[in-house]
Amino acid sequence: MIVVYHSGSKISAIITADNQSIAFNSNGTIANGLSVLAQQFPDATIVWCNIALKENLNLDAIPLLLHHNKMMLSYSSQSYIGNEIGYVEESLFANSNKKVSFATWQMCCEVGAIHATVINAIKDKILPGQDFDYYLNSVAKLSMPYGLLCYSEPALLKNQQIFSKNSASIYTLFRFVKQHYKTRWLFLLFFNMLIYDLKFPLFPMIFSFFYKKRNSRRINLDHIAIKSSKTVIDKKTVDVIIPTIGREDYLYVVLKDFAVQTHLPEKIIIVEQNPDPLSKSNLEYIYNEKWPFKIQHFFIHQAGACNARNLALSQVESEWVFLADDDIKLANDFLNNALETIIDFGTNMATLSCLQKGENHIYKNVMQWGSFGSGCSLVKAAILQNTKFNMGFEFGYGEDNDFGMQLRHQGHDVLYLPHPEILHLKAPIGGFRTKPQLLWRDDKVQPKPSPTVMLYILSNNTKQQLLGYKTTLFLKYYKHQKIKNPLSYLLYFQKQWKQSVFWANQLKAKS
């Protein structure tokens, strides 16, 4: 381990793990200094720390926190790129929880750590400029889609403390958007700041066009070997939960696939739903056939995936739980391969690729995932003790993303695994097979967006992300509705938005 102490703009000292000093160029930038060190010590973990935080740096924890080489950690009580970035990015990565370990590209110069192999892999792709904060944010933003796992990590410091730092100027904000997003987001940023912040950032937008977009396509981190030192699996036992309604033939295929797994689940918990109080179960084969695992079958007359999954989760006894759909197909080594990948990455939670036949992989790397798959995820059962699917989302959309966010706010990340794959059969009888009685069904002005979508945004996004979403929704749906007068459409859209906020708050109160 090598620690680079700096004053914010220049390197102050470079110290090895055994307290030996390393010579450095006092006139060079901090980013350049890291690059030189990575070439000199290609097998080292490189730590950076503001000299003012030296006594608070938690050096002993870093080997535990940076538990494999394809990671990047940093921490600051406030982000370098301000909340205005929410006008152009809706993802959770733009709104990190500073109290726990949290996935984000928002890195900072105060304190952090990265392995030399990562720096060497990107040294010719991302220029190490004068602004160390900007460089770190750029590295994370460009590299995350290619498998670099980036976290805001408060445990880098012995004691969390609030310290003042320089935030990005409005010129830097527009430059960052120009270099890391599609050009149209520059205009949306300008427009949103104009209407919501009453600012007119014309010159920052114009000056941003003097900067070239940073191309991430040349970044390749595949050669970096991953073997986590973190132990996440002990017993390797798995329970499977499957909510189902009216898909007995498809469910039978799923059970047969689990029955031939090279690593068998301990128990499969099936929650069969039929809202007809006089109905009977259609899953006779559960009892008529012999299965190599225990099947716990619930037949209930309350429809709804949230309720069904919560019931199933309350019955989990194994170390891990696989949340599955009832219309999937699995290779016989699926569970074993998924658990082995989880061991390699040292993660407590993973969503796996679940595509229909003929669909192409968009994401080919293990990476931090911006959502959560409630029908294709493996989760360590111990982290689910205080988590359940929010009933406010029942019969709507967003319950899976909200479930993932609950776990993230407890300090757990969701990784996307492109392999092993799940084949989604997409049963023709799908979705909500019973027509739900939505609270707003009789409203003269129907809410837009759906109140469950609004509930997720209000619960998890910043004010700027909410307003940015409002702008894009307004523009996106203008051509799909009947009102062509822009002013009339704006007035009607405001009424729809107000209705959505109202019902989202009603759902929030019920959940």
pLDDT tens digits for 288-310?
999 999 999 999 999 999 999 99
CB < 8 Å & 24+ apart, contacts of 227-231: 227/68, 227/344, 228/67, 228/68, 228/343, 228/344, 228/345, 228/346, 229/63, 229/64, 229/67, 229/68, 229/346, 230/64, 230/67, 230/68, 230/346, 231/346
- Give the pLDDT mean for 231-249: 95
- Give the pLDDT mean for 141-146: 96
Residue 488 makes CB contacts below 8 A (sequence gap 6+) with none
Q: Which pair of structure tokens corresponds to residue 275?
A: 């809202």
Confidence (pTM): 0.94
pLDDT tens digits for 48-64?
999 999 999 999 999 99
- Give the pLDDT mean for 95-113: 96
Phi, psi of 201 (to 5 degrees): -80, 55
pLDDT tens digits for 483-494?
989 899 999 999
| CA 440/CA 176 separation, integer angstroms | 41
Higher-pLDDT residue of 393 and 431 is 393
Pairing of strands 415-424, 367-368: antiparallel
**Would the pLDDT of 509 be above 90?**
no
Q: Residue 366: which pLDDT band, with cuts at 50, 70 and 90?
A: very high
Q: Which pair of structure tokens corresponds to residue 434?
A: 């019973």
- Give the pLDDT mean for 221-249: 95
**Would the pLDDT of 156 be above 90?**
yes
Enclosing H/E stretch for 328 = strand 328-329
- Give the pLDDT mean for 153-178: 89
pLDDT tens digits for 400-458?
999 999 999 999 999 999 999 999 998 876 544 556 778 899 999 999 999 999 999 99
- Give the pLDDT mean for 105-116: 97
- Give the pLDDT mean for 221-232: 95
Q: Sign of the C-alpha dihedral, residues 85, 91, 93, 98?
A: positive
Q: Are 51 and 5 in contact (CB under 8 A)?
A: yes
Q: How many residues does the chain have?
A: 511
**Would the pLDDT of 386 be above 80?**
yes
**Mean pLDDT, rounded, of the chain:** 94
Q: Which pair of structure tokens corresponds to residue 162?
A: 């609030």
Residue 476 makes CB contacts below 8 A (sequence gap 6+) with none
- What is the model's pLDDT at position 164? 66
Higher-pLDDT residue of 24 and 217 is 24
Q: Which pair of structure tokens corresponds to residue 408?
A: 């993230």
Q: What domains are there in the chain, each with its CATH number?
A: 2-208 (3.90.550), 238-424 (3.90.550.10), 451-510 (no CATH)
- Give the pLDDT mean for 217-242: 94
